[in-house]
């Protein structure tokens, strides 16, 4: 008998416990099964497992559910390292062996390329690995004063809710930052604004420079300031504050003063590059795998002296400056003016001259505006494209024969939009997908980062 599709409107605890065999993982790290013609997404289940589950959200064609019991476990199931796994929503795959996580991400990439892009890569690249624990150098933590319990919670949100998880450590954060969670809870509880401090953004740079941006919604008292400064002195951190929008972020305190306080920075030794950055500016959360990613991108792009190369969505020049080290002339375009300003500073700091940065809304690219870039800067031999999750749809649609580069290296943080754009490049713009592979930028999460090489098909005359 088919179940009532409106049961999800009732108490999920009233839904029956059923059995399913898991076929695969979806892009949120949930097990996928099919029962009575419906697709069931089961949180906590792994491929090839037999589980019991209870639905908490029922629709006509699919259900979302949680595992009740694992009847036949996968041989790749492991014991999660973090004691908060299952409660905290930060990591969803700690129960799956680390290498198996990467294999599943590769399957997701291949499936999206096939089903959305209508293609296969000619070659699948070896996955790029980095550290699996203590890798996260940037994060945004929620803060909540719980009056009934007379305590403050600091951490990621609980899985599937807006509540802050009750945690005192985090295995994926840099260990020095994980060790700050409990002291932060204690210190914030002593503040007069304990209920007016909803968020802490953190960034870690080389040399163990740690910056905490406190989102402050009220005026600090003299005692509050004493507590914050004492915390910074004891734990060797810089404190910045934010009162409204991003433009209100400013340095507040560290031992010494702003002139002597070390600035956040990361380096790329392979290219003899150093990148200073402000704590609210975008950088990769995993600097170790960032180095591997750039090495791979440079091998695929193969920039050479005398070439003219465009780096779209360039940020602070993460790829632009390594490309310029080859002797190529490079144009880096980015939508945020503050990142372009930082990129120019880094180019000057690293004595790189064959580079130009500019501000451009790449989500509004047209054939005419792309032609204008080629007219102003010369036709580009190659592109490096590193867009946000929305992808580079308008950019790739704008390609016509006289603006088409010979090579495009596309770095993606969303395999679905990569596959969508690949469909345009291969099936409309005359490219072949020569290679693709995953980058394990976020171990223990379902996030899939990838890299792809597109090469223009040269027609024989």
Domains of the chain: 7-77 (2.40.50.140), 103-131+286-456 (3.40.50.150), 138-253 (2.40.50.1070)
Low-confidence ranges of the chain (pLDDT < 70): 1-10, 258, 459-461
Task: Find the angle CA(86)-CA(87)-CA(89) to the nearest 5 degrees.
Answer: 90
User: Of all helices (H) and strands (E), which one includes residue 290?
Assistant: helix 287-301
Mean of the per-residue pLDDT values of the chain: 94
Task: Find the angle CA(412)-CA(29)-CA(99) to the nearest 5 degrees.
Answer: 75
User: Of all helices (H) and strands (E), which one includes residue 343?
Assistant: helix 337-349
The pLDDT score that the predictor gives to residue 10 is: 58
CA distance 355 to 311: 10
Residues β-bridged to residue 62: 39
CA distance 262 to 135: 21
**Cβ-contact 199, 143 below 8 angstroms:** yes
What does the block give as tokens for 24? 């695969």
**Cβ-contact 434, 121 below 8 angstroms:** yes
User: Would you say the C-alpha torsion 261, 263, 269, 273 has a positive or negative sign?
Assistant: negative
Task: Find the angle CA(435)-CA(441)-CA(443) to the nearest 5 degrees.
Answer: 120
The pLDDT score that the predictor gives to residue 160 is: 80
**Cβ-contact 282, 316 below 8 angstroms:** yes
**Cβ-contact 107, 101 below 8 angstroms:** no
CA distance 99 to 458: 38
Instruction: Give every CB contact of residue 269 below 8 A, 6+ residues apart in sequence.
Output: 291
- Mapped onto helix, strand or coil, the DSSP state of residue 215 is strand
The pLDDT score that the predictor gives to residue 351 is: 97
Which residues form the catalytic set? Answer: 413
**Cβ-contact 153, 185 below 8 angstroms:** yes
User: Would you say the C-alpha torsion 290, 293, 299, 300 has a positive or negative sign?
Assistant: negative
**Cβ-contact 90, 445 below 8 angstroms:** yes
The pLDDT score that the predictor gives to residue 458 is: 79
Closest to 278 in 3D by CA, of 312, 243, 247, 235: 247
- Per DSSP bridges, beta strands 31-35 and 38-43 are antiparallel
What does the block give as tokens for 219? 């005026």
251: left (phi over 0), alpha (psi -120 to 50) or beta: beta
DSSP 247: G
Task: Find the angle CA(267)-CA(268)-CA(269) to the nearest 5 degrees.
Answer: 105
Closest to 39 in 3D by CA, of 60, 62, 23: 62
The residue length of the chain stands at: 461
pTM summary value: 0.93
């Amino acid at each position: 008998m088919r179940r009532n599709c409106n049961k999800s409107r009732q108490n999920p605890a009233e839904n029956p416990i059923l059995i399913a065999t898991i076929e695969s993982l979806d892009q949120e790290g949930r097990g996928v099964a099919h029962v009575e013609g419906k697709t069931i997404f089961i949180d906590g289940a792994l491929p090839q497992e037999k589980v019991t589950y209870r639905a908490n959200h029922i629709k006509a064609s699919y259900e979302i559910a949680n595992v009740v019991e694992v009847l036949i476990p996968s041989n790749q199931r492991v014991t999660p390292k973090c004691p908060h796994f299952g409660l905290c929503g930060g990591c969803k795959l700690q129960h799956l062996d680390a290498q198996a996580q990467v294999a599943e991400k590769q399957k997701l990439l291949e499936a999206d390329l096939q089903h959305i892009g209508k293609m296969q890569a000619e070659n699948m690249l070896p996955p790029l690995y980095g550290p699996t624990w203590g890798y996260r150098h940037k994060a945004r933590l929620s803060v909540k004063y719980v009056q009934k319990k007379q305590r403050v919670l600091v951490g990621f949100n609980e899985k599937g809710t807006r509540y802050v998880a009750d945690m005192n450590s985090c295995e994926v954060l840099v260990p020095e930052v994980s060790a700050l969670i409990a002291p932060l809870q204690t210190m914030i509880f002593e503040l007069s604004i304990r209920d007016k401090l909803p968020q802490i953004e953190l960034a870690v740079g080389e040399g163990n420079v740690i910056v905490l941006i406190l989102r402050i919604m009220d005026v600090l008292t003299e005692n509050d300031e004493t507590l914050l400064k004492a915390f910074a002195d004891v734990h060797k951190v810089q404190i910045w504050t934010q009162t409204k929008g991003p433009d209100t972020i400013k340095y507040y305190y560290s031992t010494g003063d702003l002139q002597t306080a070390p600035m956040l920075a990361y380096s790329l030794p392979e290219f003899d590059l150093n990148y200073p950055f402000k704590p609210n500016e975008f950088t990769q959360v995993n600097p170790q795998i960032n180095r591997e990613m750039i090495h791979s991108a440079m091998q695929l792009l193969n920039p050479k002296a005398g070439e003219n190369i465009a780096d779209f969505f360039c940020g602070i020049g993460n790829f632009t400056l390594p490309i310029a080290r080859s002797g190529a002339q490079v144009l880096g375009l980015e939508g945020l003016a503050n990142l372009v300003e930082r990129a120019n500073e880094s180019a000057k700091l690293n004595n790189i001259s064959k580079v130009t940065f500019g501000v451009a809304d790449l989500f509004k690219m047209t054939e005419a505006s792309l032609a204008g870039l080629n007219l102003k800067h010369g036709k580009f031999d190659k592109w490096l494209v590193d867009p946000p999750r929305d992808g580079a749809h308008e950019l790739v649609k704008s390609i016509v024969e006289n603006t088409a580069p010979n090579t495009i290296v596309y770095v993606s943080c969303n395999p679905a939009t990569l596959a969508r754009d690949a469909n345009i490049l291969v099936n409309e713009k005359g490219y072949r997908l020569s290679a693709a592979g995953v980058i394990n930028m976020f171990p223990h999460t379902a996030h899939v980062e990838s890299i792809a090489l597109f090469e223009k098909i040269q027609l024989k005359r």
